[in-house]
Amino acid sequence: MILQGDKIVRQYKHKSGVINALDQVSFMVEKGDFVTVTGPSGSGKSTLLLSMFGLVRLTSGTVIFNGQRIDDCSDRKLTEIRRKSVGYILQSFALIPYLTTIQNVMMPLALDRVPAGEQLKRASEILDFVGLSDRMDHLPRELSAGQQQRVAIARSIVHRPAIIMADEPTGNLDPALSLEILEFLKKINREQHITIMMVTHSPVAAEYGSMKLHLRDGKIVIRNS
Ligand SMILES: Nc1ncnc2c1ncn2[C@@H]1O[C@H](COP(=O)(O)OP(=O)(O)O)[C@@H](O)[C@H]1O
Ligand SMILES: [Mg+2]
């Protein structure tokens, strides 16, 4: 088991009262799983993804990652865990507009103070893997949407994370590009043995899950594996 959430609660206080964005959510993810999280808008999907590694703090409950309890870790420790072990892919690609493809992909390694030569080597390998070796010196705006998302994915796996957390990674892409990205995530899951937890509202994307969680009103209402 790589990730476990136990009785996770996240409340938001709002003028209109307390919102239970996550209400006693428990689940287990095995190493190598491809987990999909579906549910209506506002059901708590993003909150679930963000709360696993401390980008959102829990109101109560526990998170265990690789056998270690992490929900009570300091922000500094959680930042370290995210940098070392987690790759995030979000709907907006969040590429740095004035950096080239290769520079964008090298960024997480630079933050981790990996030597420059090694950064270049690893970023080139990953860009080869995502089929963009001929676009290394392009700026984001010189790439198609699908290519930009592949750069974002390359950047999220270049530090060899144990797990990828993806929030609607195909949300802004047309159906053909969405399929390309999904196939790609499947390939990463199978060939690089990276566990994936992916939020999606697309039934097609949800079919990629080896384990499927469905949320409603902050609760898990269906799980299939
Ligand atoms: N920062 C916040 N402040 C107040 N309420 C929030 C905040 N973030 C999320 N919520 C509420 O929590 C619930 C779950 O939100 P979210 O996890 O973003 O849902 P989803 O990703 O499934 O659309 C929603 O009712 C939302 O309005
Ligand atoms: Mg969301």
Within a domain: 25: no
Specify if 35 maps to a domain: yes
Q: From the CB of 179, is ligand 1 less than 6 Å away? A: no
Q: In this structure, is residue 59 part of a structural domain?
A: no
Report yes or no on 13 lying in a domain: no
Confirm if 37 and 215 have CB atoms less than 8 A apart: yes
The pLDDT, as a whole number, for residue 82 is 93
Structurally, the chain folds into a number of domains equal to 1
Whether 184 is covered by a domain: the verdict is: yes
**Which ligand number lies closest to the CA of residue 37?**
1
* Beta carbon of 167 within 6 Å of any ligand 1 atom: no
- Whether 64 is covered by a domain: the verdict is no
Question: Which atom belonging to ligand 1 lies closest to the Cα atom of 41?
Answer: 23
Quote the CA–CA distance of 8 and 44 in Å, as a whole number: 11
Q: Is the CB of residue 38 below 6 angstroms from any atom belonging to ligand 1?
A: no
User: Per the domain annotation, does 53 fall within a domain?
Assistant: no
DSSP string, the chain: --EEEEEEEEEEEETTEEEEEEEEEEEEE-TT-EEEEE-STTSSHHHHHHHHTTSS--SEEEEEETTEE-TTS-HHHHHHHHHHHEEEE-SS----TTS-HHHHHHHHHHHTT--HHHHHHHHHHHHHHTT-GGGTT--GGGS-HHHHHHHHHHHHHTT--SEEEEESTTTTS-HHHHHHHHHHHHHHHHHS--EEEEE-S-HHHHTT-SEEEEEETTEEEEEE-
How do residues 167-215 score in pLDDT, each as one tens digit? 998 887 788 888 988 998 999 999 989 999 999 988 889 999 999 999 9
Say how many Å lie between the CA of residue 202 and the centre of ligand 1. Answer: 19
Q: Output the CA 136–ligand 2 centroid distance in Å.
A: 31
Q: Domain span at residue 121?
A: 31-43+74-211+219-224
**51 lies in some domain:** no
Ligand nearest to the CA of 38: 1
Q: How far apart are CA 38 and CA 118, in angstroms?
A: 38
Summarised one tens digit per residue, pLDDT across range 24-35 is 999 999 999 999
CATH of the domain at 181: 3.40.50.300
- The protein residue whose alpha carbon is closest to atom 17 in ligand 1 is 44
Question: Considering the chain, what percentage of its residues have pLDDT values greater than 70?
Answer: 100
- What's the Cα-to-Cα distance from 214 to each of 46, 61, 210, rounded to whole Å? 13, 19, 13
Residues surrounding ion ligand 2 at CB below 5 Å:
45-46
Q: Is the pTM here over 0.85, yes or no?
A: yes
CA of 45 to the centre of ligand 1 (A): 8
**139-159: pLDDT as tens digits:** 999 999 889 989 999 999 999
Q: Is the pLDDT of residue 54 over 80?
A: yes
Contact at 8 Å (CB) between 198 and 208? yes
Report, as an integer, the average pLDDT of 30-58.
96
- Is the pLDDT score of 93 beyond 80? no
Answer yes or no: is pLDDT of 72 > 90: yes
Closest CA to 168 of 62, 48, 58, 19: 48
**Ligand 2 geometric centre to CA of 78 (Å):** 22
